[in-house]
């Protein structure tokens, strides 16, 4: 988690209205089943109050139905981030884009089982008074996108270095049977300021742990600009999808890192969904004249409409772009595009935990 008191206006992760239909098959477990497993987790701390172990400090960020606080371990004085989420009653009705009890426990269970240098780490969690407290890494570097825009010089070699870390994190998650389902620039954070050598994938609120690499999912979710075509198609055909959706999102991220703008964009979401379904993107802007053919080839392999033909994370890491020598020449046009398209007026995030205060 990271101390972001302000952030740019951005697209929310959500269940979205794909063309014509929203209904689909969903493969889920009840909160009772997941909760029973979590009771056996060594990361679940029971018999002690979180405030007895940590001093809860200032708010680092708010969003959706959670708040992130700075906490300090009372014995070691080491600082962490604490994500606090409301825990609904079992089988309680929630809003369309709110977390159910099962959703909350599913996110916690996924975080309990993962540990990788490019993925957010959860140290432990507490359950008290219909809330859960997730103690995680304190990430102080903010968003990767902001760091890229603030760099005095930004090159294709920098983009390659960043993207390899991202794909390494994805490859690890897929090896553990976890599909993130909401990979986007806003969910790529730096461990420390101005340091692009340590990128972390965060926010597992929409992630799914299949337990099997060939497990198929059917929930319509994600952030529209990054969503894979098979997720949109599943709204109409009830077809399931797999971990390849993360690689499509990775392709969108790479396109943005190199071009400075998204491959699919339109004010009308339905039109944008049609662009995605057809895989309609181009390298026709002048900015792409200075980008290597290897980089563009990798983007094409990631933004393949056919998920079976799309690069897997492991295949991606073997691509010649990573083993080659990407240029260190400054991508001035890319930097300008990023500032023009993403450097918007900062505003307070007004989303807060409903009702009871958490302090």
- Residues marked active site are found at 182
* β-strand partners of 119: 201
CB contact at 8 A, 45 and 126: yes
Distances (CA, A) of 97 to 25, 218, 225: 17, 16, 18
Q: Which residues, 6+ apart, have CB-to-CB distance to 191 below 8 Å?
A: 137, 139, 140, 141, 198, 199, 200
CB contact at 8 A, 107 and 205: yes
Torsions phi, psi for 158 (to 5 deg): -65, -45
Degrees to nearest 5, angle at CA 178 with 139 and 15: 85
Q: Is 269 helix (H, G, I), strand (E, B) or coil?
A: helix
Distances (CA, A) of 303 to 100, 110, 277, 300, 309: 32, 27, 11, 5, 10
> Which H/E stretch holds residue 6?
strand 6-8
Q: Which residues, 6+ apart, have CB-to-CB distance to 68 below 8 Å?
A: 1, 2, 59, 60, 61, 62, 81, 82, 83, 84
């Amino acid at each position: 988690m990271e101390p972001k008191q302000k952030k740019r206006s951005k697209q929310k992760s959500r269940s979205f209205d794909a063309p014509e239909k929203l209904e689909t098959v969903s493969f889920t477990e009840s909160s009772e089943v997941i909760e029973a497993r979590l009771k056996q987790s060594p990361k679940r701390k029971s018999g002690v109050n979180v405030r007895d172990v940590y001093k809860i400090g200032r708010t680092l960020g708010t969003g959706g139905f959670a708040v992130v606080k700075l906490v300090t371990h009372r014995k070691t004085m080491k600082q962490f981030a604490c994500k606090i989420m409301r825990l609904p009653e079992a089988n309680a009705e929630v809003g369309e884009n709110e977390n159910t009890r099962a959703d909350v426990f599913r996110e916690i269970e996924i975080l309990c089982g993962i540990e990788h240098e490019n993925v957010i780490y959860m140290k432990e969690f507490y359950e008290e008074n219909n809330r859960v407290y997730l103690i995680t890494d304190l990430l102080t570097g903010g968003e990767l996108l902001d760091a890229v825009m603030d760099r005095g010089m930004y090159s294709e070699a920098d983009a390659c270095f960043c993207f390899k870390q991202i794909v390494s994190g994805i490859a690890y998650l897929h090896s553990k049977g976890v599909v993130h389902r909401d990979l986007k620039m806003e969910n790529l954070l730096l461990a420390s300021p101005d340091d692009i050598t340590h990128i972390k994938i965060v926010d597992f609120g929409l992630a799914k742990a299949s337990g099997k690499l060939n497990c198929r999912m059917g929930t319509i979710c994600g952030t529209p600009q990054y969503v894979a075509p098979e997720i949109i198609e599943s709204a109409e055909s009830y077809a399931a999808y797999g971990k390849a959706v993360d690689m499509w999102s990775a392709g969108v991220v790479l396109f943005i890192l190199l071009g400075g703008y998204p491959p699919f964009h339109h004010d009308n979401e339905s039109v944008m969904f049609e662009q995605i379904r057809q895989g309609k993107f181009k390298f026709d802007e002048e900015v792409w004249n200075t980008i290597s053919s290897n980089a563009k080839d990798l983007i094409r392999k990631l933004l393949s409409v056919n998920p079976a033909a799309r690069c897997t994370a492991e295949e991606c890491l073997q691509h010649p772009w990573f083993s080659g020598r990407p240029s260190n020449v400054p991508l001035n046009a890319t930097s300008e595009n990023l500032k023009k398209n993403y450097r918007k007026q900062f505003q307070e995030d007004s989303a807060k935990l409903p009702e009871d205060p958490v302090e």
